[in-house]
Structures are given as C-alpha cells and as structure tokens.
Structure 1
Amino acid sequence: MKKSFFLLVLLISVVINAQVQSENIHLKSFIVKNDTIKIDTISISSANFKVFTNQNIEIDPKNYSVNFSKSLLIFKKERFKKFSEVIVQYTSFPKFLTKNYFKFNKKIIVPKATSQAQLYSLTTNQQKIVVKPFEGLNTMGNITRGVTIGNNQNAVVNSTLDLQIAGKLSDKVTLKAKIIDTNLPIQENGNTYKLNEFDRVFIKLFSDTWSIDAGDIYLNNNETSYLRFNKQVSGLAINTNIKNNNSEINIQTTGAIVRGKYKKVQFNGREGNQGPYRLSDLNNNSYILILIGTEKIYANGKLLKRGENKDYTIDYNTAEVTFSTTFPMSADVRITAEYQFSDRAYTRFTTYNNVAYKTKKLTVNGYFYNENDLKNQSLEQDLSNEQKQLLANAGSNTNQMVTPSAFITPFSEDKILYKKISIGASEIFEFSTDETEELYQVTFTYVGENLGNYILKDFIAIGKIFEYVGENLGNYNPIIRLTAPNKLQLTVFKASYNPYKKTTINAETAFSNNDINLFSTLDNATNKGIATKLGWKQLIFEKKWNLKSNFKFEFIDKQFKSIERIQKIEFNRDWNIETNTGSQKLLSTTLELSNKKNKIINYKFENLELSDYFKGNKHNLNGNFTTKNFNLDFNSSLLNNETITEKASFLRYYLNARYNLTKSWFGVNFNSENNKRTNILDNTIQNLSHKYQEFKTFMGVGDSTKVFVQIGANFRTTDSIQNNKFAQVNTSETYYLKSNLINSISANLTTYINYRSVKNTNFKNEESLNSKIAYKQQLFNQFLTFNTIYQTLSGTLPQQDFTYIKTEQGQGFYTWIDYNENGIKELDEFEIAQFTDQAQYLRIILPTVNYIATHQNKFTQTIAINPQQWNSKKGLKKLISHFYNHTFILIDGEQQKLAKKFNLNPFDIHNKNLLGLNFNLNNSVYFNKGKKKFSTTYRFIKSQNKLTTTIDNTENKTQIHKLQFEHKFDDFWLFNFNISSSENKTNSANFTNRNYFLKNNTLFPKLSYYYSKKSFFSAFYENKNKENKLGGLETLKLQKIGFLLNYVKSLKSILKIEINFLKNTFKGANNSPVAYQMLEGFQPGKNYTWSFLFQHKLNSFLNLNINYLGRKSETSRTVHTGAIQLKAIF
C-alpha cells in the first residue's frame, strides 16, 4: 500500500490543473427487437467497438453498421432476427467532450427588471460545498480498511484497494491509473499454489510528445534481432519524442524490478494425448509459476492460439498445457514452448534505454539493456557465508552449486523435522516428532532413479516424509541446488539507410556481457561476445513482374548471449544442429519474383558455418500461385551439411493445392522429409536420421464461413534406421470431418470428428478419437431453448498432491481437528471451517510427476422451457404461462485408457475404470418466479464426484429434493416455507473414518412482517433430522428457533440483528469427521448464536461497516468475533 500511494502522489503532483477525460470501456446487453439499437445517450468512439452474442461469440461486422455520432447500432436487412440478445462493447468519449459548457450559471442569472446599469446582490451564496476526493478526474473503484478481532483469534488487519483514475490534468497532460492491492490471492475452494501479496499498480501520464509509465508495466522490444524481449516488470518508463522539420528523435529510458526469467523447451507430443504437458524452469524444476500471458506455444513451427475454443489452454499455477479437442495431438507433432516463469531467488533489476534518430532516408537506433541480480538481496534462498564461498569457487560450473540442506531448528508442530542417527560410518536423517531431540529441517531434492539415498515414504498434511534406504537405492538426497546471481548486459546499434527508392541497407551490431555467477571471478574471460548483421534489399525491376533481391550476412560469436532466441523457432532442426555452441556465420541470398495477380516464386540460398565443426548449404524454393478458382502453395528445401564426424543430406518439400467450385472445393497436400545422416568414419547411417511421407486429401461442400461440410484423410509412412538402413517403423491413417450444418438465427450445429490409427512395427498399435458436437436450438418463439455440447478426447489425469499451510485466522478456508489426538497434522484431519475464526489453513496444490493415461467424455446440456409468452392468453395457456423450467446437466468423466477401446457413453458414470468424474444434474421448476404471490420452486439436484490423488481415491454422491414456497399477503406479511430431503454419501479408499452415508430431512417455516419496503422482522423455526447409515450409525435431531431484524433508514443506514437458539440431540462419537459434518461445527446440546451488522453511509463516498458475531455452547466458552471496516468509494 505504501508503494501504491507513494507512486500515485508522486506522479499526480507533477501538474495542478484538472479536467475530465473518461476512456472507460463499457459492456451493455440489449434485447434485439428491430434492426436499430440505441447504445448510449451521447456519441461514442469507434475504438474497441465489438458486438457479441449472448454466448460471448463475436458477431462479424459484416452483419451491421454503426453511426458513432448518434450512438446507433444498425443491423443489415433481416440479420437482426438471428440474434435474440446482443452484448455491445464500446468506448465512451471523455465527459469534458460531451457535456454542455456555459460561461455563466443560468440558474443564478436574474432577469433585468429595472433601468439600472448594474444589479447588485447583498446576500451571499449559501450553497453547501461537497468535497470529493480526486475532484476533476473520472474515478472508479474503492479503498477498504478493516480490522477483525476476537477472543478466539488474534487481531487481523484487512485491506483492499481497487482504483481507476482517468482524466485531464491540464490542456496537454492526461492521466490514466489503475491500482489494485489485496491481502491474499486465492483460487476457488481455498486452493492456491503460492502465497504472494497481490499488488498491481499502473499509472500513465502522457501528452503529445512524452509519456511516463509507472508501476506494473509491459516492457518489450521487437525491433532488433539481438535484443528481442517481452517482460512484465515493476518500475518506471519515460518516453519522449522530439520532432524537427526533417528529423525525429525518440528517447526511452526504463528502470524496473523484473518478475520472471525466459525459458524455451521442446518436446514431442504423445500419441492420442491432449495433455496436460508439464513445463519447468532452468533447473528442470516443475514447481514453478508461469507469468500470465507470457507463453508462446508452437506446433511444428506454427504459433498456436490460446483459448477454450482454440488450440490450447494453460494453467499458470501448475505450469501445465492442455491441447483442445479440435487440435489433435500425436507423436508427429513437435511442441516448442517459450515462456517466463516466476524467479524469486534474488531481487532482479533491469534498465533499458533506447534512442532513435529518423530522417527521410536514414534511421539510427542505439539500445542499452542491463539485467542483473542484486547478489546481497536474496529472496527465497537465505545464503550463508559458507554457501556464498561455495558459489565463488564454482565459477560457471552449475554442477558444483550444490550444498547440504539440513539446519538445526526449534520444534514446531507445523514443520516436518528430522533427527540425525548413525548407520555405520554415515550419519543419516530420520523423521522425528520428539521435541527433546536436536531436530533438523531438511529439504530433499530429486536426483534421479537410483542416484539418491532416500525415498518418499509418506505424505501428511503439512508435507512429505522421506526415509533413508541405502546408498544409490533411492531417488532423493538431502541437498539443495543453489542459484547463483547473474548479470546480462547488451548494447546494440542498428541503422537503416535508403539511398534510393528501390534500395535499403540495414546493419546491426550487438555486444553482450553475460556473467552467470556474480559471486565468482572464475571463467569471466568467457563473459563477453559480439554479434553483427548486414543486409541489402534491392528492387531490381518493377513492371508487370517485380524482381527483388535480399542479401544478408550474420556473425554471432559463441560467447554472445541474448535475452531470448535470435533465430527462427526451429532453426536447429532446419540445419541438423543438436547444440549450437560455436561461433555462427550465416550468409543468405534471396531472389523473389512476383506480380500483382498473387503469383510469387522465391529462391533462397543459405550458407552456415559453426566454428570449425559445422558447414552447411541450403537451397530453398517457395511459391504461391492463385487464380480465381485455384490456389497452389509449395515450400521445398535441400540441406547438405558436414561436421567433424558426419555428413548429411536433408530434403524437405510441402505442396498444397486447392480448387474452388461454386459451392464446393477439394484439394490435396503432400509433405515429405528425408534426412540421411552418415558417419564419416565407418559410413554407417546415424540413428538421428529419419524419413516420412505424408499425403492428405480433403473436400468440402457449402460456404466455409457459414454452412458447410468438409471431410478429409491423412496417410503417413514413417521410416527410421534399423540395421544401418531405413526401415518402416509405423504407418498412420487419419480421417476427419468438420462441419457447420446449421447456422441460422434460431439454431446452430457444429461437428468435429477426428479418428487416428497408428500401426507400429515394433510396438503395439494405437488408436485415438477426438470429437466435439455443439448444438443450440430455439423453438416455438423461444418457448423451448436448449444447448448441447458433447466432446471426447484422450489425455492424462494428474495425480495431485496437496498440503495445508497456516495463515492469518479468518483468511483461510480450513480448520484442523486432531481426531486421533497424536499431535500430527494428518491429511484426513482437515475440514472446511464453519466459522471464520477457525479458518486458519489454506490448501496448496502441488504439481505432480504422476500422470495416468485416460479417455475423457464431456457432456453439457441446458434446457429452458419458458411459456411466459402465453401470459396474455386465457384458460390452460394462461395457467401454464406462470411456470418456468430450467435443466442443467454436466458430465465430465475420465476413464483409464485401454487399448483399442473407446467408451463413448458419457452416462456410464458407474464404470470401474472411472478415475475422475464431475457429474451434476440440476432441475428447477418455478411457479410465479420472483413475484412473491404463491411463488413456488421445486429443485432436484443430483451430483457425483470422483477424485484420484497420490494418497487416496474419494467419491462423493449427493441427492437433494427441495420445495420452496413464498407468499406475501396484506402488503405487510411474507410467509416462507421450505422443506427438503437429501442424501450425502462419501467413500474414501484409504481414510475409512471419513466414510459416511447421511440422510437428512429439513423443515423450515419463516414469517416476516414488513413495516416498510426494505425493513422487516422475521421469526423462523428449523427442524433437521440426520442419520448416518454407515459406521457408528450416528443420529442428530436439530431444532432451531431464530429471530431476524432488518432495518433500513433512507438508504443510508442498515441494521441487521439475528439471534438463534439451537438444540442438537446427537448420538455417536463427537470427535470424528462424521460428527463434524452432521453438527456443522456446533456441539451437542444447546447452542446459541447471535450477530449484529451495521452499515452506514457517512457521506457521498465513505461507508462504515461494523460486524459482530457470537456463539456459545454448553461445553465451550463464548466466542466473540468483531470487525470494523471503512470503505471509500470513488
């Protein structure tokens, strides 16, 4: 918070005068009744304007036009009938542009009634001045400060800030700001991966010639080859622009704290496995956080799109990538992922400076980038003097940056601790809870199968327990890998010169200084490197046909280090390079012949040398020919390369031809690679050699942008080296169908099916099936609406691990109950807290290395029956119009994958091979919905969930029948009556004490007296009967009487008081998970609860909230919890 307000005050104080400019982006929903919609009362901007359906699908602008000055959305012809409801995203102009201005206030001008030349008033204006923060700026958001105290918890301070500011500070200076600050970011269900203060600040001041960005900013450079980067940082960036008659100078300077590090990984997809696929950090540690939005995922060199209905999705918390149903994965798909992961070993600081000088013919740029760890400001690793000396002696050798992890620590019940014992001449660590022993906190690191001395023995709530099994008989060792602080500096000069209209000369030179260990001076001679590039582009002639040439030469020293990759994403594969460790010389010459009729042919010759161990020549021929009905694309290359030990020939070609008819199309595709790598010494063919041939054919009918059907088939043969020659290792056949069979105002049907069969020579054959069907229909003038989505795919199910950590009381979700009274926090002893003062634990999901191959079926169905259109009818139709029915079904099941078997039935939820399941059926029937006149609701809910984790398999089943009645009579009395019957069954494979089958019957009448529209007094009674049909056969009879007072005064004050008396007649063991579920956190016998809530609006922007909770039982003391909160709204 200090940082937030410091930056805000510092930057706002630059200027004084204030006017209003609002640049808010709005979302509004409209019911479409005709072809014209009035969006706003004032003119709107064309920036960011989009129109979506009520399913959040963007509508093609071809379907409408917009009159921005009159704020009108106009659908073309009859196309508005396609949409029942639309959502419009638009940007409003600033208020200072749209409001009316007057030199004088007309309200206080008095008409001239005499011949006097001047009118005087002897009274002063007594109008009350209302003071509002940030007057003159358009503000939106709130600031909240609060404190919670109680006799069962320590004082906890709560604070949140969510503030947006926009407006003119002067005629030339504009301010934009967004500040968010909350205590603790958590995921749904109280799960989180990592605890950090959620603090986001962005402030921007700008004019026509300069700008200042402060806080959390996005720093990038895509203008150069050697200083290309995209980073999320926290700091300050200043940009200025100086223009003269014939030149322009741009200057940028930035200083910031860096959040993450860049990583690139490559791997092949697995046959029929959509994921998830795990990413890692520089040390191959999978326990990482991916910075949101920094990833780029490539498949066979092509950049993919993120999104549920696009190519892939990513879980940034667990660093897992999952590919969508419509992007089938196979072993032939090469995946490359670039991303930035959170690195908090040290505080990392960066500076970035850029100067650009531009004239009509000449552009010169200079860049300087510095990124270094502050070696004396380590964050997640607290280095001792001995560890710093170890790093100093290690130099650039990361294998020597390893140290013992054990250190002596006091006993704590929230830590897993070990004692030292002797076995022969060795000292080993053994888990211990004896606080009289000398105890150690030990971190164990995975070192590889049978390369360590310890194994994972057990998993409890607060972490993992390891056990010594003998030298090189385990997978873990009590060590940690130290991270050395490093520094990277880059200086880049770039120039572009156009001496003639048809000529462009480019040059770029970069110097790097990369020190991977700031604690050590060893190996510093290899820190510095250079890279340079020269290019010449020439338009040789320009007539009916154009001929262009492009010459490039590039040199990259082997010691040169860039922030991100320099070359194309698959550069190494294209050149048969395993590791690029030498100095690089790359020469290329390109000739391109093209005309205005979309006919292009391109020839490129490239020569690459890597120090003295690699030489290669590559010829590339690419082309595109397009006519009215025909399109042909082809790419081909031939590489001949030689190293000290091998020579190779790599031939590739790709050809795609498509012919379009009036309402159909068809085409073929050829793709082939032949990479023969021969050992020079004995003339044997290397195992890295490969060859494949792929043929694809497809045809379609209809309009590919509207209603269409396309089918296709792919056939591929793959060869590898066996007995020193190419031999077939597998063949694959893929058949697919994709279509949009119905595309109208009231209905839409899309289908995608992809079946793949792989026949392997040396392994078992494999089959995979991906499909997705989406059907939406409105019938009988929206009387019946339903939406169906069915999809099936293969993937893996991660066996999640999780642990619990202690946090501030009231800010967690779970409570610990020591059921067996052994003082150890075990996984089956944590419950969802029923009261906030007991909620002091959060559950942390840990990434896993255990995945189970699965086949997944997912089915979603919504049905709505809405006869309200018959409201004006008579008789039976009039009666039916009072009803409304809504049904929702979700089935998401993952079964263990079996060879050559696809269970396509999503309703098979009792299959023994089912590993994961989320089943939910919810049906609601309404009568007089929302009218409070004999308003009745019947709800049926059925759910079933199955979860497979490392330590347990659990299954929960729930079934609920619930009837709700509400009726208001005499304008003052409101009667509510609820009755429900439910069953709840839980089965745990390893924790049998958590198994129960509860039957529950509930009766709840309530009578309220309204003495104003929002003020009322209620009295209610609740009767519950619960019975456990398993284990201890526990029973509970609950009777509850309560009173509620809700008083609202002139919309400024709200007072709510509630008092409850509960009597629990419980039979069974009190200290058990079953008892906690049945008693809902209360105790047997008499229980009392009371609460007090007071909300008051102090002025136009300040609200006061006071909240008090109390409870008492026969066997426990009175618990008091109080909170006071002040909230400022802007």
Structure 2
Amino acid sequence: MPGVDSFYQYSTNPALAKYNLSFVNFGVGNGNYVPDFNGANGKVYKYVPPIGTQKQGSYEPAQILVTPKKQQIINLGVDYAISKSAFVKAELATSNNDVNTFSVKDNGDDRGWAAKFQYNNSSVLKSEKGNQLSTTLDYEYVQKKFKPLERLRSVEFSRDWGLPLLQLPADENIIKAAATLVTRSKNTFTYQFINYHRSDQYNGFQNSLTQSGNIKGWQMNNQIVLTQFNNSNDKGYVFRPVLDVNRQFKQLRNWRMGFRYALEQNAPRYKQTDTLTPLSFYFDSYSVYIKSDDAKKNKYGVTFFTRTDRYPVSKSFVKGDRSLNLNLQTELLSNPKRQFFLNATFRKLKIFDSTISLQKGDETILGRAEYSMNEWNGLIVGNLLYETGAGQEQRRDFAYLEVPAGTGQYAWIDYNSDGVQQLNEFELAAFPDQAKFIRIFIPTNEFLKANYITFSYRFDISPRSVLKAKDLKSFEKFISKIILTTSLQTSKKSLSTGSFEFNPFKYNINSAALITVFTDLFNNFSFNRGSSKWFFDFSNHRRNGKSLLTYGYESNRLNDWLLKWRMNMGRTMSISLNAKKGLMELLTPQFNNRNYQLTMYSLEPAFVYNKMTKFGVTASYKFDDRKNNPLFGDQKSTSHSFTLESVYSSLQRFSLRGKFTVNGIKYRDANTTPINAANTTVAYIMLDGLLPGTNYLWSMEIRKRLMNNLDLTILYNGRKSGSSRTVHIGTVGANVLF
C-alpha cells in the first residue's frame, strides 16, 4: 500500500503468525484497525488504510500498562461540645498516593492534605416559645494532591456548580453558612450560603432557600437554589427551583392530590463571545397526581407529567422537544384469593426543532401487570405476569475463556485439527473433565431500537383439594387422582416500527423483525401422584430461543414428549418406565457445520430393589434412536445401554454409591469418512460426547462424616469410549459444618 510501511494481519498459519497482539480503542477516526469477524474465539482485528491523513479505524495495537499502586489514608477527627446547644467538629486527613511503586520519579507529589472544621449551634428563641433556630458554620480545605479512597463529593456536585463531569484536580476551599428555623407547628425554613473556590481560577457562590412542613393541611416541600460562578474561560449561573404541594382530603375518603414543578437552567457562557457552552442545558417539568389512601389495601393512582427540554443555540436556549406522560397505578390486595398489580405509563414525545434535538417523535407504552389467584380451597392456584415497553437492544459478542477442568460448562473440540480455537468448535460439555471453558458475553456499541414483551403464567389444578377422601364415588376417586400443571414463560424483543406491540406471539422464530426471543412452555398430566402403589406422568416441554449476536442470529428449538410410569411391588421392589419422543434444532447461518434438526426416540425400563434404607440396586436398559434432517446431513445413531447402580448407606455416617454402564452405539454419516464421522458438532450432540462402538462408563462416590461436623467426599469417574483412551477422573472434597 502506498505510504504504508507495515501493518499486522491475523493468521492461523504457524509459519506466518509471529506476534500475539492486544488492541486498545482510541475512538472513531483515531486508529487504523477495526473489529473483524472470522469465527475465531476472541477478538480479531483487520487493518483499514487511511484516506489521506484521516484514519478510518478505532483500534491500535497497544497495551495499557497497569502499574503497581499504593494508596494510604490517615484520618483524625475530634468532636467537642462547648455547651448543651453548641459543639464543634474538626477533621484532618492525609493521603499517600503512589501511582507507580516501581518508579521514584515525582515521589514528592504523593502526599496530600485535607481538613474540615464545623461549628453548630441550636437554641430555642425566647421571644417565640417553641421555635428553634440552628446555625452552622463550615469550612473545608482539600489539596489537589489529596486522594480519597471513595468519592468525596456527591454525584450531582459538578452539575450543581456548572462544572464538567471530569475535571483536573485543584486546591479546593469551601465556606458554608446555614440557618434553620423550626416552628412550633413543625414547619422548617432553611437558608444556606456556600462559597466554592478552586485554584484553577474557578469561584462560585450558591444561595438556597428550603421550606417544608404542613400549612393549613397542605404538605409542602419547596426549594430555590441559585448558583453563580466565574471561571477562567466562562461564567454563568445554575437556577433550580422546585415546588411540591399536596394535600389529603378527608371528605374524599383520604384521597391525596398534589402538584410538583421543577426547573433547572444551567447556563455557562464563554466570556469572549457571550455564547452558551455545550455544557448548557435547560428543562422544566410539571406533574399533577391523585392517589387513594395509602393505609388501605386497595390503592389507585393517576399521574400526569410533562417535561420540556431547551437546547443551547448561540446566546439563547431554544425549545427542542416535549414529552407528555400519563401513569396509572393499581394495587388490589383486599381479597387474599385474588390479587392484582398494575403500573402503566403512556409517553408521547413531540419534536419542535429537529435540528437541535437528537431524538425523534415517538409514542411508547411501558406497563406491568401481575395477577395471582387461589380459588376453591386450592383447586386452581396460579399467577400471571405481563410486561411491555420499548428500549434499546444491544448487539452482543462472546468469547470462551479457559478455566480449570470441571469448573466450566463448555468443551473445545478441534473439528478441523488446525489447533486454533474457533467459535463453532465449542459445545456444552458432556463430561466434567471436558468442561474447561466458560462463555462470556462482551457488550458492543451497536444498538437497535426495540419493543419488548414479557408474558408468563403458571397454573396448577388439583381436584383432590376439594374432593374429600371419604365417601367418594368411583368417578370422583378417578378425578381426585389427577393433577394438571401448565406454565409458560416468553420474552421477546422485536424491531420497533413506531407502533405499539402488545401481542407476545406476533412473530414466529424465523421472522426478520424478531431480535431476541425465549419461550418455555411446559404441560404436565399426573395421575395417582404420591401413591405408594403406582403413578404416571405425561408431559410436553417446548422451548424456543433466538438471540442477536455480532455475526447474525442464532436460534434453537426443543420439543419433548415424556411419559414416566412407576409401580411398587411390595416394600422392596419397583419397576419404572421412561419413554420420550423429541425434536431438537439449532440454526446458525454463519456456521453451517453447527446446524441440525434431530428427531429422537428413547425407551428406558428399570428395576429397583431396596433393602430397608441401607441398600439399594437399580438395573436399567435404555434404547435411544436419533436422526438428523436430510437437509442438515441425514446422520443417524442408535444406542443400547445397560446400567447397574448400587447404593449402600449406614445412617448418616457413611454412604457408598457405584454405577456401571455399557453403551453400544451405531452411527452413520454419509458425508464424512468413518474415521472422522464422530468429529462433528452433530455427532457430539447425537452421541452425548461418546463414540461409535462400545462405550464403558463407571463411577464411585464415597461419603463419610467425621467428628460430627466434617463431611468427606471422594468421587471417581471413568470412561472408555470406542477406540479412544481410558479417562480417569478423581476428586476429593471436604465440607465443614459450623
């Protein structure tokens, strides 16, 4: 490239890859590299040549050095009561802040000092019996080299004084004087004066007047604050009045009505041009509300709120936009069997000048409703939640981070044998020794405006709650043994089109308007549950998901039908049967090798023998058949597994559990050679991490309690999959009971 001496390029070729780089974001137009998606695990960047002298990227190969630091604080405080009504407080602090303990350069500026003195006096006015006057005089000094451990000022301090959010340290002097009058009727009036001076030529004066109390039944909380400041380059003022008045009307069943007005005008101006700086802002808001008595169980409330924003244009503020908001609140709690909560807000944004307002005209609804019920003595118990709104959805990136074996969730399988970790080579680990990675999500600066809806419910129907066990007819006995359970949880975010979204089921999972979605539906029919003789469950579980990632969409689907049956043959023996039919699907357009749609069938009978509570043996057989859709490879697997499990326990002092499984698997994949047939994502899922052929799995668990407060656990797992090597895993753990 003309004018370019050299640049870095990502490569997986060991002969070409020479450097391991880290990149730092310097901002748009300040770098020569941009993020590049190529499927690698972790961030990859590519070089973008500049156009003329203007850089086209945001990143540069660099590393921010984090130096070893030392920070120490010594604080001394003294309180002294001069009399019953007057006392003084003094505080002295020093800090030692070394930003690089490896360096001796500029060690002379590590030490900083701060001091504070306060005088308080409170007395009852003799001329007005019951009125109390309190005065405060406060002085504070902070050296610019003083480094506190935590934030020294309030979050709104810079805003209150017309300062930028981030500013260089300076010597600070603060003088404060205040007087508070509390009347016999508990009304409070406070006047406060503050002078704030900085060594960088900033000087400000603040006057505030606050009033609160009850005047003829009207509850008031009012404040007026005026701050004037002068800096080296600008001067201005901050004006912030707040008026809050409300009253409870007994003749209206203690309903409360109120009004609130707030204005904030922050107007710093450049001295040379007398124009407003970019830090200037101006808004005012009004709100009117009415709400019912808070002491009652059923509550209602309505609030109307409007805010107008003005933006700095040259020497004056120009109206840019205005929002109109209406809020409704309801709580119905008087009936313990049926309870309802509602909080809904309608917001309309009007734009007066699109050249100065960065927002767009919009209408949105934010709402949340909850309902719970318990009818007919527990015959129907359930709850329901509905929530809707609008906001910004962030695109997410993710990477896999290696952790100690057994502490992660994912396994890396080098499908293409290139030795490079790629995003499409990570699977949920089937065994603890493979769980060496966790997945971390990395936020990006890309956002989409979205509507979101959350809807969920759960209902349980139990006829036995109303049908008594005595004197039941045959049909009533049959009905009393049934328990129905249904639950749904769905959460979706879709692209905002300017209209309201209320339907949680509007889009299917393949719709381009759908950004993210998660749906989980579970239905279960139980008969004779809790019986000592026999019972069965029949259930259906459906789960759909879709997420927006930096490389596109990823969706998954699950649909399982499950039958569970168990019968006890006396006190020591029982037989059971688990039958399952299901569908499992994953679609990732960016990675074709990860796409699959599996149909699954399984049948698992089992025999259980228990000798009191000390000894138990379980023998089971499982048939499992899985087939992939021909569009995604047409793979097929069939497995026959035999499992023998035994448990021995001696009260709570000792237990021993052993398990042994033989699993014979047949696997067919016409798209690969027999040697590489099992080295694919689909094979890993279909075979549950095992290999074609005969697989052996065994485990042993020993638990022993020592000295009544120490539990010792020894775990051993082993497996031999097909022609692979044998894997042995052993862990030892101890739990101390206090």
| TM over 0.5, shorter chain | yes
Contact 1:985-1:996 at 8 Å conserved across structures: yes
Cα distance in 1 for residues equivalent to 2:153 and 2:541: 56
8 Å CA contact retained: 1:607, 1:616: yes
Counterpart pick for 1:948 among 527, 530, 548: 548
Q: 1:992 to 1:608 in 2, by over 3 A?
A: same
Residues 745-756 of structure 1 aligned to structure 2 (within 5 Å)? 745-756=336-347
Structure 1 residues 905 and 684, CA, compared in 2 at 3 Å: closer, same or farther? same
Cα 1:502/1:1014, change in 2 over 3 Å:
same
Aligned twin of 1:897: 496
Q: Which residue of 2 aligns with 1:574?
A: 160
Give the AA of the match of 1:1019. Answer: A
Q: Partner residue of 1:1065?
A: 666
Tell me, in whole angstroms, the C-alpha distance in 2 between the residues paired with 1:558 and 1:1126.
Answer: 52
Match of 2:478 in 1: 879
1:1043 aligns with 2:644: yes
SS of aligned partner of 1:929: coil
Distance, in Å, in 1 between the alignment partners of 2:119 and 2:256 is 42
Distance 1:689 1:878, change over 3 A: same
> Which position in structure 1 is the counterpart of 2:420?
824
Which 10-residue stretch deviates more, 1116-1125 or 446-455?
1116-1125
Aligned counterpart, 2:684? 1076
The aligned residue for residue 67 of structure 2 is 484
Q: CA deviation at 1:784?
A: 1.0
Aligned equivalents of 2:628, 2:665: Cα separation in 1 = 15
1:964 lines up with 2:547 in the alignment: no
Partner SS state of residue 685, structure 2? helix
Aligned-partner Cα distance in 2 for 1:863–1:791: 18
2:657 aligned with 1:1056, yes or no?
A: yes
Residue 454 of structure 1 deviates from its aligned partner by 2.4
Contact 1:665/1:699 (CA < 8 Å) preserved in 2?
Answer: yes
Matches within 5 A, 1:682-721: 682-703=273-294, 706-721=297-312
Taking the aligned partners of 1:769 and 1:1074, their CA distance within structure 2 comes to 43
Over 3 Å counting, the alpha-carbon distance change for 1:1100 and 1:613 in structure 2 is closer
**Is residue 1034 of structure 1 aligned with residue 635 of structure 2?**
yes
CA RMSD of aligned residues (A): 2.8
* Partner in structure 1 of residue 329 of structure 2: 738
Give the aligned residue type for 1:564. E
Task: Specify whether residues 626 and 919 from structure 1 end up closer, same or farther in structure 2 by C-alpha distance, changes over 3 A only.
Answer: same
Q: How far apart in 2 are the matches of 1:563 and 1:685?
A: 35
Where does 1:9-158 land on structure 2 (aligned, <5 Å)? none
Is the 8 Å Cα contact of residues 622 and 635 (structure 1) preserved in structure 2? yes
Distance 1:1049 1:547 in 2: 76
* Percent identity of equivalent pairs: 26
Task: Provide the secondary structure at the position in 2 that maps to 1:481.
Answer: coil
The one-letter code of the counterpart of 2:175 is L
Any stretches of 5+ residues in structure 2 without a counterpart? none
Quote the Cα distance in structure 2 between the aligned partners of 1:583 and 1:1118: 70
- After superposition, residues 107-256 of structure 1 pair within 5 angstroms as none
Whole-angstrom CA distance in 1 between matches of 2:492 and 2:383:
19
Deviation at 1:849, TM superposition (A): 3.5
CA positional deviation for 1:892: 1.2
Structure 2 CA distance for aligned equivalents of residues 793 and 1023 of structure 1: 47
Distance 1:616 1:1127, change over 3 A: closer
SS at 1:562's partner residue? coil
- Cα distance 1:983–1:501, how it changes in 2: closer, same or farther (>3 A)? same
Shift of 1:1099: 6.2
Indicate if the aligned counterparts of 2:10 and 2:17 stay in contact, CA closer than 8 A. Answer: no
What corresponds to 1:186 in structure 2? none
Equivalent residue letter for 1:908: K
Deviations 1:495-542 (A, max 9, x none): 332222222223333344444344445445544444333322222434
1:266-324 CA-partner distances (Å, limit 9, x unpaired): xxxxxxxxxxxxxxxxxxxxxxxxxxxxxxxxxxxxxxxxxxxxxxxxxxxxxxxxxxx
Structure 1 residues 837 and 423: alpha-carbon distance in aligned structure 2, compared to 1, 3 A threshold: farther
User: Would the aligned equivalents of 1:503 and 1:536 in 2 still touch at CA under 8 Å?
Assistant: yes
Pair 1:447-2:26 in alignment:
yes
**Deviating 4+ runs (over 6 angstroms):** 422-425
- 1:934-1013 alignment runs, 5 A limit: 934-1013=534-613
C-alpha offsets along residues 618-662 of structure 1, whole Å, 9 cap, x if unaligned? Answer: 221101122574201101112232334433233221011111023
**Residue in structure 2 matched with residue 906 of structure 1 by the alignment:** 504
1:661 and 2:249 are equivalent in the alignment = yes
SS in 2 for 1:428: coil
> Take 2:657 and 2:268, find their aligned partners in 1: how far apart are those partners?
81
Map 1:455-604 → 2, pairs under 5 A: 455-470=34-49, 472-524=55-107, 526-542=109-125, 543-578=129-164, 579=167, 581-604=169-192
Q: Is the 8 A contact 2:276 2:313 kept in 1?
A: no
Deviation, structure 1 residue 553: 2.6
Deviation, 1:1100, is 4.2
How far did 1:424 drift?
A: 7.2
The answer (yes or no) to whether the contact 2:229–2:237 under 8 Å persists in 1 is yes
Cα distance in 1, alignment partners of residues 211 and 501 from structure 2: 45
Closer, same or farther in 2 for the Cα pair 1:972/1:787, shift >3 Å?
A: same
Match of 1:206 in 2: none
Structure 1 unmatched runs, 5+: 1-421
Shift in Å at residue 940 of structure 1?
1.1
Structure 2 counterpart of 1:722: 313
Q: TM-score, normalised by structure 1?
A: 0.59
Q: Distance in 2 between matches of 1:600 and 1:443?
A: 59
Change (3 A) 1:1110 1:596: same
**Aligned-partner residue type, residue 138 of structure 2:** K
Aligned to 1:607: 195
Deviations along 1:821-843, one digit per CA (max 9) or x if unpaired, are 33322111112222233333333
Letter in 2 for 1:496: D
Instruction: Answer yes or no: is the 8 Å Cα contact 1:737–1:754 preserved in 2.
Output: yes
CA distance in 2, matches of 1:463, 1:827: 8
The answer to whether the 8 Å contact 1:800/1:846 transfers is yes
**How many angstroms does 1:490 deviate by?**
3.9
Among 201, 209, 214, the alignment partner of 1:626 is 214
Structure 2 Cα separation of the partners of residues 706 and 607 of structure 1: 49
- Aligned partners of 1:1097 and 1:512: how far apart in 2? 51
**Structure 1 residue 991: deviation in Å?**
0.8
- Deviations for 1:66-103, whole angstroms, at most 9, x for unmatched residues? xxxxxxxxxxxxxxxxxxxxxxxxxxxxxxxxxxxxxx
**Could you tell me whether the CA contact under 8 Å between 2:274 and 2:315 is conserved in 1?**
no
1:410-439 C-alpha deviation (Å, 9 max, x unpaired): xxxxxxxxxxxx997734333334445682
Mapped partners of 1:495, 1:1107: distance in 2: 59
Q: Secondary structure at the match of 2:445?
A: coil
Contact kept, 8 Å, 2:286 with 2:306, in 1: the verdict is yes
Equivalent-residue separation in structure 2 for 1:1023 and 1:974 (angstroms):
20
Given the alignment of the two structures, is residue 835 of structure 1 paired with residue 428 of structure 2, yes or no? Answer: no
Q: Closer, same or farther in 2 for the Cα pair 1:1087/1:497, shift >3 Å?
A: closer
Q: Which residue type is aligned with residue 786 of structure 1?
A: G
823-832 vs 515-524, greater mean Cα deviation: 515-524
Contact 1:461-1:804 at 8 Å conserved across structures: no
| TM-score (normalised: structure 2) | 0.89
Aligned to 1:158: none
Identify the residue that residue 1111 of structure 1 maps to in structure 2.
719
Identify which range, 699-708 or 519-528, moves more after superposition.
519-528
Aligned pair in 2 of structure 1 residues 526, 1055: CA closer, same or farther (>3 Å)?
Answer: closer
Q: Compared with structure 1, are the counterparts of its residues 518 and 971 closer, same or farther at alpha carbon in structure 2 (3 Å cutoff)? A: closer
Q: Deviations over 1:593-633 (max 9, x none)?
A: 11242211111122233237233322211011225742011
Listed one character per residue, the Cα deviations across residues 1029-1082 of structure 1 (whole Å, up to 9, x for unaligned) are: 232212222222333333445554444343333232322142321122111122
* Superposed CA offset, 1:782-834 (max 9, x none): 21111111112333333332223444444433222222233322111112222
- Does the alignment pair 1:774 with 2:360? no
Q: Which amino acid aligns with 2:720?
A: K
> Residues 1020 and 770 of structure 1: is their aligned pair in 2 closer, same or farther, counting only changes over 3 Å?
same
Letter in structure 1 aligned against 2:484: N
> For residues 482 and 1077 of structure 1, what CA distance do their matches in structure 2 show?
43
